[in-house]
Chains A and B, each alone.
Chain A
């Protein structure tokens, strides 16, 4: 089944404790991205990747890092999480950045930073 998977689905952590949220897709998609969803602010893009070893900032990249060492994986790294990073996170992928292609979203990761 074609899908985007994320882990963990739920995470409660403390300020400053490094964490990684994994994202994987099995559709051989070139383009992957991360969004966060917050009440009143909607969904905002954090980072995106056009292909392996190619990443760039989205609208709200502060406090996050990403890497794209393999085509299928695009982990989101919070080096020193803070309470304002409490949010619902989504990973998404599409065939390529260029042209008009459907984007597929993972199931979401609900992160709470205390």
Chain B
């Protein structure tokens, strides 16, 4: 099956810093999503981005499908950004099962 690798596994920032999270995947995909899992365990949809670039406030994401990677940018980080960020991909040949990466644990200190 498809492999999804995220880096870095852990990231500690001071409030106000910027960061880039990376997601590499091993095969072509039909769907790529970024999620934020908050400390209460909820999975929050950040981006649906099988290709191209999107921005939503302080967050933006870019997927280069031909090179099989996606980047999530967090600018001016806040303590509420803490949590785990997951990249998940889907290949239509595998039905609609999303394959998740192992996540990046982000801690933003005040």
Q: A residues near B, CB below 8 A? A: 31, 33, 42-43, 45, 48, 58-59, 88, 90, 92, 94, 97-105, 107-108, 110
> Is the CB–CB distance between B97 and A45 below 8 Å?
yes
Cβ contacts A to B, 30 pairs, < 8 Å: A31-B96, A42-B100, A42-B101, A42-B102, A43-B98, A43-B100, A45-B97, A48-B95, A48-B96, A90-B43, A94-B96, A97-B95, A97-B96, A98-B92, A99-B30, A99-B92, A100-B31, A101-B31, A101-B96, A102-B31, A102-B33, A102-B45, A103-B33, A103-B88, A104-B45, A105-B35, A105-B45, A108-B41, A108-B43, A110-B41
Q: B residues near A, CB below 8 A? A: 30-31, 33, 35, 41-43, 45, 48, 50, 86, 88, 90, 92, 95-98, 100-103
Contact of A108 among B42, B86, B95 (CB under 8 A): B42
Q: A108–B92 Cα gap in the complex (Å)?
A: 25
Shortest distance between the CB of B95 and any CB in chain A (Å): 6
> Is the CB–CB distance between A59 and B97 below 8 Å?
yes
> Is the CB–CB distance between A105 and B30 below 8 Å?
no
Q: A48–B102 Cα gap in the complex (Å)?
A: 22
> Is the CB–CB distance between B41 and A102 below 8 Å?
no
> Is the CB–CB distance between B97 and A33 below 8 Å?
yes
**Which residues of chain B come closer than 8 Å to A104, judged between CB atoms?**
45
Q: A42–B5 Cα gap in the complex (Å)?
A: 12
**Which residues of chain B come closer than 8 Å to A108, judged between CB atoms?**
41-43
**Which residues of chain A come closer than 8 Å to B31, judged between CB atoms?**
100-103
